[in-house]
Amino acid sequence: MKRNKVTKVTAVALAAATVAGTPVVSSATTMYDPSSVPELTLDVSTFATAADNGIALPELEDGTLSLNVSIADYQLSSENTQIQKLWQQAMEHYLGCTLDITWSRTNSTDYANNELVVLQSGNIPDVATVTKGIAVNEYGEDGILLNLANYMDYMKYYPEFMADTNGGENFAKLEDGSMYYFMDGFYNPDDIQGAQSFTSFAYRFDVLQELGLEPATTLDEFTELCATLQAAIDDGTLDAQYVIMNSTKDYGLIRGFVGIFHTWDCLYYNDGTWRYGPIEDNYREALRYLNQLYEAGYIDPEFATADTNAGTTKATVGTAVVCPTLWSGSAAGWNNAVMEEGMQWGLAFLPENEEYGTPWKWGSRQPGKSLSNTMGIYVSASVENPEYVVAMIDYQYSDEMINLMNWGVEGQTYTVAEDGTKVFSDDITSADQPAVQSGNYGLMSSSVCRTGIPFTPLDFNAMLDVSSNPEPWWNAEEGYYEGKYWVESDRNGGEDSVSPYDRAPVTYLTPDESSLQAELAYNGVCDLRARELATQFITGQMDIDDDAAWESYIADIKSQTSSDFDGIIEMLNEKTVHPEETDAAAEETTEATSDAAAEETTEATTEAAAEETTEATTDAAAEETTEAVEETTEAAE
């Protein structure tokens, strides 16, 4: 396969910012181009009001709610965008007052760097974006942040997200029932449980098609495919150096395989308990398999040293033909930067290990409405009119506000087909960069602009339409085709591919306990050491079949923690709210309620019976007395 080099303006390491369909942290914020979009109009009179929802807000002295709001701006600022203006109109209609908001906007990088500094000062705005997740809770416990749990009567929509999230209300609240920030929402109307990464292998589709080959559906097929490709390299049919490459040293090569062996490469939850993947037998099997591939000469020896830029270069100049470690958008990014004419990277779902069944994918989206604790919004404990502020933020979680901020206005930014499917307008879909054009409107589904008070719920379907690029895919039934990573990883993997560590129950931890947990989590001290030693097993520096070496490896991993390793796992299991415990508690509450109700009914019945008896006795006695008097009177006569 002779290479024909082509010149491209695009730099090798540059990938489109919106390829993955997620917001990209930016050190600079661009103002939107108002001339690029028409003015939008909206009749908010059809929208809900707090009064409609039975929420009684106190009367404002002058009918105006004045607030200082500090938010993070992303690649495109939402300031003065059409959707931001409509957001204010809808909010004023909902609250029944005028909003006088002083906005403080900071580019996302600087905001994240300074967020905790601001909180530590105690001098905080009325409302602000949260980018540090649960780290802000300690400031709530110190009395700096408003305890939102005390204002549930002013919420209509956020509780639905709480209830639908894995873990329910326990996920959104601390162990004592307090709640110090609104968590980032996600709306998945079609229940697409796709994932963003480590869900597929990337293959050089052009190579496979030219050689009459197909991606592997099983691990045995993958082993055979690697041997066939290596033979093509050896005899000069295939112009490549290696069969397999790693996308970056930042991910251990084994991360692309752990789901196939039903384990994970750091702390995870499975079968009712917390576990540490790298010391499991399944993980050892995965290492053994990778060692076999390495010994056969299939794996690029720089898999543990080449950074992301080097990985992109390897992919785009044809160093290797398979990559098992990648995020959504990687294949599309490589295809935009290829240095060889006709080169095409594509994706296929993880090959199945028949011993374990359907491979697990990492990061599966939750169905319906859900919350994420990594981002959100906090409210100052000293804010005036907290009832209004809570109701305002809660309204951002309503269906009509989610639709407005993600899709815009029907007939102007989108249309609705007969089957109910929403479609963005032509000026968005036909733009050179649809995500940027939708961002110019202020639509947050663009993934480059965050409207309202970030973070507000993202509509998955809208995001997929406008900011997720299609990539080449393959499956055994359809062959080669184009699809979007999130959708295809769900469609090809199915429900069985949702990994248990993506549906872990809630674990309540103190700050010190969280620090111990972090030692076992991704990028913790145990993870960094496990990756280093995994490389030695893969390359044969340590013998994966040597039981003594394996036991020494486990001891080495466990020695990295500042406290007893097994004790940390035990602590995590003790502090976890297991679903069966929640169900049992609910059942006990139901039984207690039923018993109390039954007891009250019994008491009421007894009292009623006693009352009836007393009345009957009294009536009978009175009747007898009356009869006796009558008889005596008759006798006297």
Residues of the chain with pLDDT > 70: what percent? 86
Residue 600 is predicted with a pLDDT of 52
User: Residue 572 is which amino acid?
Assistant: L
Same domain, 351 and 209: yes
C-alpha distances in Å from residue 340, one per residue of 233, 307, 343, 471, 624: 17, 21, 6, 18, 116
Q: In angstroms, how far is the first alpha carbon of the chain from the final one?
A: 138
Amino acid at 512: D
Provide φ and ψ at 204, rounded to 5°: -75, 95
Q: Which residues contact 274 (CB under 8 A, 6 or more apart)?
A: 267, 268, 507, 569, 572, 573, 576
Tokens encoding 101: 């908001």
Instruction: Report the residue count for the chain.
Output: 637
Choose one of 420, 447, 467: the last residue of a domain.
467
**338 shares a domain with 205:** yes
Across 294-303, 359-368, 464-473, 580-589, least confident range:
580-589
Per residue in 493-527, pLDDT (tens digit) is 999 999 999 999 999 998 899 899 999 999 999 99
Indicate whether 334 and 387 sit together in one domain: no
Q: Mark whether 254 and 315 lie in a shared domain.
A: yes
Range of the structural domain that residue 185 is part of: 34-192+368-412+433-467
272 lies in a domain? yes
Please tell me the distance from the alpha carbon of residue 547 to that of residue 18, in angstroms, as a whole number.
47
pLDDT at 189: 96
One domain for residues 341 and 473: yes
Residues 6 or more apart whose CB falls under 8 angstroms from that of 22 comprise: 196, 447
* Segment (H or E) for 188: strand 182-188
Residue 565: inside a domain: no
In this structure, is residue 114 part of a structural domain? yes
**399 and 277 fall within a common domain:** no
Average pLDDT over residues 224-235: 98
406 within 8 A of 441, measured Cβ to Cβ: no
Residues 54 and 157 occupy one common structural domain: yes
Q: Are 194 and 490 in contact (CB under 8 A)?
A: yes
Over residues 266-295, mean pLDDT: 98
Per-residue pLDDT at 186 exceeds 70: yes
- Both 331 and 476 in one domain: the answer is yes
Q: Which two tokens stand for residue 469?
A: 């690029």
Q: Flag whether 292 is in a domain.
A: yes
Within-domain flag for 564? no
Q: Look at residue 498 and tell me if it is in a domain.
A: yes
pLDDT the model gives residue 255? 96
Instruction: Determine phi and psi for 349, rounding to 5 degrees.
Output: -60, 155
| Count: domains in the chain | 2
Question: Can you give the CATH number for the domain in which 456 is found?
Answer: 3.40.190.10
> Is 394 inside a domain boundary?
yes
pLDDT tier at 30 (50, 70, 90 boundaries)?
low
Q: Return the pLDDT at 28.
A: 53
User: Under the phi-then-psi rule, with left for phi > 0, alpha for psi from -120 to 50, and beta for the rest, what region is 338?
Assistant: beta
Task: Give Cα 503 to chain centroid, integer Å.
Answer: 11
Measured CA to CA, the distance from residue 481 to residue 466 in angstroms comes to 20
Residues 133 and 208 in one domain: no
Shared-domain flag, residues 357 and 250? yes
- Say if residue 150 is in the same domain as residue 270: no
240 and 376, same domain (yes or no): no
Q: Are strands 422-424 and 414-416 parallel, antiparallel or unpaired?
A: antiparallel
- Report yes or no on 12 lying in a domain: no
Largest CA distance in the chain: 141
pLDDT band of residue 328 (cuts 50, 70, 90) is confident
pLDDT value, residue 629: 36
Q: Residue 558: how many CB atoms within 10 A of its CB? A: 18
